[in-house]
Amino acid sequence: MATQTKPILYGYFRSSCSWRVRIAFALKGIEYDQVPVNLIQDGGQQHTKQFESVNPMKQVPAVKIDGITLCQSLAVIQYIDETRPGPRLLPADPKTRAQVRMISDLIASGIQPVQNLSVLQKKGSEKEQWAQHFINQGFQALEPILKQTAGKYCVGDEISMADTCLVPQVYNAERFKVDLEQFPTIKRLNQTLLEMEAFKVSHPSRQPDTPPELLA
């Protein structure tokens, strides 16, 4: 189903949801164009009428691909996995695939949303403590699950959608000064994954809209 037109990713350099999609594109070897949406500048470019026409939820990422627009990171990743060659991000085995989806959803639905910029802006000076609390709570659940499922990567020894979710969430945890020493499996997996080229090129420090002071 691949076409000659490159997908277009509307994202923000530090958005963990956008980073998941960048990782998946890199793992699949998919070339794409980026349209930066600055979530802070001018009160947030996601609130413009122009972007609302792309994603009515006014969130990143949104991806235009194959004549459709998809606006949830896991939906994007699953779509490109089903339509593009390259390493499978969702395993063929139903039980293993369910584990990948469970871990991905735990992060994408259970941990990350309470650190969205729109949530943190409501917390004011308490935003760091708020983020720490919910990341710790989520990681306390994720750590024992990963102890059961992990091999070299989150689920066994094959890269998967779960890995695209884990690394951006650990990046957020480090931003909010979460002590990762209490989560040795999460820490080990993150270190392993960050050595992979797909995770390096998609890193927030290497994006077109990365501020100069944060460039790697």
Each domain of the chain, given as residue ranges in start order, spans 8-87, 94-199
- pLDDT tens-place values along the chain, 216 residues long: 445 589 999 999 999 999 999 999 999 999 999 999 999 988 899 999 999 999 999 999 999 999 999 999 999 999 999 999 999 999 999 999 999 999 999 999 999 877 666 666 666 777 778 888 899 999 999 999 999 999 999 999 999 999 999 999 999 999 999 999 999 999 999 999 999 999 999 999 999 999 999 998
Query: What is the model's pLDDT at position 148?
Result: 98
70: left (phi > 0), else alpha (psi -120 to 50), else beta?
beta
Query: What is the model's pLDDT at position 1?
Result: 46
Query: What is the model's pLDDT at position 42?
Result: 86
Q: Could you tell me what percentage of the chain is helix, strand and coil, using 3-state DSSP and rounding each to the nearest 5?
A: 60, 10, 35
Tokens of 203: 């890193």
pTM value is: 0.94
Query: What is the model's pLDDT at position 113?
Result: 72
Query: What is the model's pLDDT at position 122?
Result: 67
State which fold the 8-87 domain adopts: Glutaredoxin (3.40.30)
Query: What is the model's pLDDT at position 129?
Result: 84
The arrangement of strands across the sheet holding 62-65 comes to 33-36, 8-11, 62-65, 68-70
Which CATH number does 94-199 carry?
1.20.1050.10
Q: Which of 56, 57, 79, 58 is nearest to 67 (CA)?
A: 79
Query: What is the model's pLDDT at position 2?
Result: 47
Provide CB contacts within 8 A for 32, sequence distance 6+.
6, 7, 8, 9, 25, 63
Tokens of 148: 């059961």
- Report the Cα 3 to chain-centroid distance in Å: 24
Query: What is the model's pLDDT at position 123?
Result: 65
Query: What is the model's pLDDT at position 14?
Result: 94
**Cβ neighbourhood burial of 180 (10 Å; 0-12, 13-18, 19+):** middle
